[in-house]
Amino acid sequence: MSTPLSPARLRLRDVLRVGSAGLRTRPLRVFMSALGIAIGISAMIAVVGVSSSSRADLDRQLAALGTNMLTVAPGNTMTGGDAKLPAESVAMISRIGPVERVAATGKVSSAKVYRNDRIPSAKSGGIAVLAAGLELPGTVGATTAHGTWFNEATEKYPGVVLGSSAAKGLGIAAAGTDVQVYLGGKWFTVIGILDPVPLAPELDGSVLVGWSAARTYLGFDAHPTTVYTRTKDSSVEAVRSVLAGTANPQAPSEVKVSRPSDALAAREATDQALTGLLLGLGGVALLVGGVGVANTMVITVLERRAEIGLRRSLGATRGQIRLQFLAESLLLSALGGIGGVVVGIGITTAYAAAQDYAAVVPPWASAGGVGSTLLIGAMAGLYPAVHASRLSPTEALSTG
């Protein structure tokens, strides 16, 4: 009695070999189909990578500057007018236990700054003039690009430190004893220029005068308009809850307390929303690439009916035919996915280098990119594979 024959099982190496045969014989078509998927994946990887790199740089800045800074400013009175902080508010806030640093600025509304005394008074450029305390740089994380900050001697004399934007507006690139600005009808020497201050951007467009000099030369009333405080990290919320009452015990409702890092967090949330939108567009591109793979596989099945019939005649089972064309679809998608990941990482690296960031591409993004292409490939190749397996040998050979 004869033993019934059973079809040979395909090993993984055999599946890959027969699956890649169709790709090797049609390289141009394979390239164009893989390109569609690569565009979608590269767009998604680049969006995630650029966004992650930007957020990593922002987190680095926050870690360096600290998120324990609180800002106190006057609000509005009960009648809707502008409130004032008491002149003693800085000293009172400094008595709060967890507060480590306090510094203030006060707006000098009566003074305007000009590059020289020949400029018409109406063309001030809108640059604010602020009286500043000695502790301001250490409190807000400011550094000087040129020159120096005030000390106990220079803050009493007619000298100024320029914010980064104010220096550009006035056309001043460096500090020095021979560099002066015309401020409040008097000449003031530029002793320093600040770098941009991320946690206090209002300083960038301002001209800063020593607290004592502002009172002596510009008639400053010594009422602070912004008080910056640094507290222990573990006590930020506790200090925040008592700042208004401490700064102005008689009218705490007329005091505004904010956290500058919240603005940066809001910007990060906006970036995340934009990232979601761009990822959606990348997903659409990926879907279009999947349609291209499906179209390629359908055409491949139609063109290779004779091959399918011959293989069936030689003993290949329907399952093996399905596996062959499904493997071909997966390999085609994988080529596009891997190529897209490489291109996306390249785009992220180039952008990060241009912005002086560290390039960050989350591992889940790369793995997810390749995984999604395999899923798309499986879905796109399933119908053509099933259709190919259902062809009878005689039908396939007669129409091939």
**Residue-by-residue DSSP string for 74-105:** E-B-TTSSB----TTHHHHHHTSTTEEEEEEE
pLDDT of residue 185 exceeding 50? yes
pLDDT band at 1 (very low <50, low <70, confident <90, very high): very low
Give the mean pLDDT of 156-165: 95
Give the mean pLDDT of 244-271: 75
Read off the tokens for 278. Answer: 């761009």
Q: What angle do CA 86, 91, 95 make, to 5 degrees?
A: 125
Residue of 70, 78, 71, 74 whose CA lies nearest to 87:
74
Q: What pLDDT is stored for residue 374 in this prediction?
A: 82
Classify residue 4 as exposed, middle or buried by CB count within 10 Å of its CB (0-12, 13-18, 19+): exposed
At position 146, the amino acid (one-letter code) is H
Q: Are 300 and 385 in contact (CB under 8 A)?
A: no
pLDDT digits 0-9 by tens, 202-230: 999 999 999 999 999 999 999 999 999 98
At position 19, the amino acid (one-letter code) is G
| Count of Cβ atoms closer than 10 Å to residue 345 Cβ | 19
% pLDDT > 70, the chain: 81
Positive or negative, the CA dihedral 321, 322, 325, 328 is: negative
Q: What pLDDT is stored for residue 281 in this prediction?
A: 62
Beta bridge partners of residue 73, listed in sequence order: 256
Among 237-241, 300-304, 382-386, the range scoring the smallest mean pLDDT is 300-304
pLDDT digits 0-9 by tens, 37-80: 788 788 778 877 887 787 777 767 666 666 688 889 998 877 66
pLDDT band at 198 (very low <50, low <70, confident <90, very high): confident
Q: What pLDDT is stored for residue 10 in this prediction?
A: 63
Q: Are 194 and 162 in contact (CB under 8 A)?
A: yes
Q: What pLDDT is stored for residue 208 in this prediction?
A: 97
Q: Are 359 and 352 in contact (CB under 8 A)?
A: yes
The helix/strand/coil state of 124 is coil
% pLDDT > 90, the chain: 29
Name the average pLDDT for the chain.
Answer: 81
Say which residue, 104 or 355, is predicted with more confidence. Answer: 104
Beta bridge partners of residue 385, listed in sequence order: none
pLDDT band at 166 (very low <50, low <70, confident <90, very high): very high
pLDDT of residue 234 exceeding 90? no
The helix/strand/coil state of 119 is coil
Distance CA 368, CA 363 (A): 8
Give the mean pLDDT of 233-243: 85
pLDDT digits 0-9 by tens, 294-316: 777 777 776 677 777 777 777 77
Give the mean pLDDT of 335-353: 88
> Can you tell me which residue has the tokens 């992650």?
52
- What are the backbone dihedrals phi and psi of residue 162, each rounded to the nearest 5 degrees, phi first? -95, 140
- What are the backbone dihedrals phi and psi of residue 390, each rounded to the nearest 5 degrees, phi first? -85, -10
Distance CA 125, CA 322 (A): 74
Distances (CA, A) of 17 to 25, 34, 267, 325, 327: 13, 19, 51, 11, 9
pLDDT of residue 259 exceeding 90? no
